Structure 1
């Protein structure tokens, strides 16, 4: 059986091979009715365009690079899947790179993969703004989860959702709150802490900030003793993974959640929904984030002006929050009392 080519498709339809080629590489240049006939015939004959050959004709690879700081953090797999699904709708493939929480590795990896891709999507970039601009000059790029001047971006604004949860906790009797800040270079960490501080000033609540911490289970676990020393009865962790570590650390200290302290995460990853009790958190719109990132990247590849898309998070109340304790924490109740 002869292999189907653009020439055999052209011959069967009575059009030129260049018209068939443009139907795949530059569809906007082919009349819609002709393009539909070409695509239908190609499908019937089992033809699919050669990506390498198409790249030579268009100057594009059909590949999007995506850089994440920690592929093991449960925030990133659903985001990666969302970007991948959106990219495939645009007939593009995804090249995934993990910088392993290293800003220097982030820089080296971007420099290495930029010749291989049509554009980049960088999640939670850690490099300073000036260095990002220098590194990304000439390559279309979208930054997710960080607002960077003059660069296209997609961010999730959790301000309203966090403040809704904080107000709910205040109404439940909590008056002293702890914020566990995320990584020092994280735009999201600053944004989330600012949301709680702004609310606290308005509500007249006390806030103590602890950290910064890495977005890791062990960092949350290690912060438990600082939380106890702070006397805060409600805790906002940077993300769900850190919140899970906090709950484990408090349990080791003899405290119960939410009876002794209420814990709030952020992102609503699978972990938050499978914990017992379920974790109160802010749900990130992963599908919308991925779709918007690919759409904005397409605009950047086409030479469009940079823009930032802002999507809201949504509050999700579950079992790790409750009324402020009207008693001493369990660890103190169980402590022996010395009598004279």
Structure 2
């Protein structure tokens, strides 16, 4: 073959198929049989043919692309956020890229820097980056911060005040005057905010709250706190989230301590794991799906130029009382 640019027609002749079949093999491989596609790609490799670079191909049927970055994809709270954002992307004809930072601020920044050139905007969910770094990222792409307030950046947060007040009333009605709080990672904004809200609500009711932290917001993280709790048991335990609460209960069972006979425990989130645990878990119900929906809609409004920046949107909470809490030596309140 003479030197020069290899074309689709050249590949078609080499493979013994029509040019339109070659075009489909590269653009829509699902519409070509596996055997035919193999023949076409082998011919293209022999001839040195390269299809049009992805970045120059017009987006098909979508308006653009946004990203969601989360600390832990396996966490149901965060996966519920992702699912809600995906639903909004489908409704707005946007594609979605998801990245995980593994609870690391530096990995989160690296993920954002890699994704930013590919997307129109991003949702940072439970971001572990410092505020200044988030604002720096917001200078390059429209950003919405979910589950964290960042000054100067659109933020969607869960208003835990009502849920925590209801929880504190429940603890008081059951007759507990001491509470152990199992807290999450030091890098999480929601950790400090939630502890402050819980400790203030308990103090207002004459309930002493002690804090065990930092910990991983996982089943393993809750499991690891059982030994420290047993050094000075309080009878009532509140965990940063349901995953930690379930992990704590598992560790306590290994120590021969059972809930709610030997202690009571409550969590946050209303995850499925808490709904089916034994006993079922009292929890402050949050709505990560609603938070994800509102964060996505705000971002789309920003991209359309229909929303001013620096707004804070809240999502409500409420207490769900289940089997894991009851009066010491008695029945549930």
Q: TM-score scaled to structure 1, two decimals?
A: 0.77
- What do residues 132-182 of structure 1 show as CA deviations (whole Å, max 9, x unaligned)? 112331200111110000101111111221221221121111110011111
Deviations along 1:56-110, one digit per CA (max 9) or x if unpaired, are: xxxx961110101011112122211111111211111211111112111101010
Q: Give how far 1:54 is off.
A: 5.7
Please tell me whether the aligned partners of residues 261 and 325 of structure 1 are also in contact (alpha carbons under 8 angstroms): no
The aligned counterpart of 1:150 is: 152
1:334 maps to none
On the 8 A contact 1:178/1:230 being kept in 2, the answer is no
Which residue does the alignment assign to 1:317? 321
Residues 1-57 of structure 1 show CA distances to partners (whole Å, capped at 9, x for unaligned) of xx9xxxxxxxxxxxxxxxxxxxxxxxxxxxxxxxxxxxxxxxxxxxxxxx95369xx
SS of 1:320 mapped into structure 2: coil
State whether residues 78 and 288 of structure 2, in contact with CA within 8 Å, keep that contact through their aligned partners in structure 1.
no
Residue 11 of structure 1 corresponds to which residue in structure 2?
none
- C-alpha RMSD of matched pairs (Å): 2.0
Structure 2 match to 1:53: 58
Instruction: Please state how far the C-alpha of 1:314 moved relative to its aligned partner.
Output: 1.8
**SS of residue paired to 1:265:** strand
**TM-score of the pair, normalised by structure 2:** 0.78
- In structure 1, stretches of 5+ residues that fail to align are 4-50, 327-340
8 Å CA contact 2:138–2:153 kept in 1: the answer is no
Match of 1:288 among 276, 280, 290: 290
Conserved 8 A contact 2:180-2:237: yes
1:305 aligns with 2:308: yes
**CA distance, structure 2, for counterparts of residue 240 and residue 229 of structure 1:** 22
Unaligned runs of 5+ in 2: 1-19, 21-55
Aligned residues: 274
* Correspondence for 1:126: 128
What is the alpha-carbon distance in structure 2 between the residues aligned to residue 94 and residue 149 of structure 1? 26
Which residue number in structure 1 is paired with residue 231 of structure 2?
229
Whole-angstrom distance in 1 between the partners of 2:85 and 2:179: 35
**Structure 2 counterpart of 1:40:** none
Q: Is the 8 A contact 2:77 2:288 kept in 1?
A: no
2: CA distance between counterparts of 1:279 and 1:212? 22
- Maintained 8 Å contact 1:162/1:282: yes
| 1:27 corresponding residue in structure 2 | none
2:204 alignment partner, SS class: helix
SS of residue matched to 1:75: helix
Query: How many angstroms apart in 2 are the aligned matches of 1:61 and 1:131?
Result: 28
1:242 corresponding residue in structure 2: 244
Which residue pairs with 2:193 in the alignment?
191
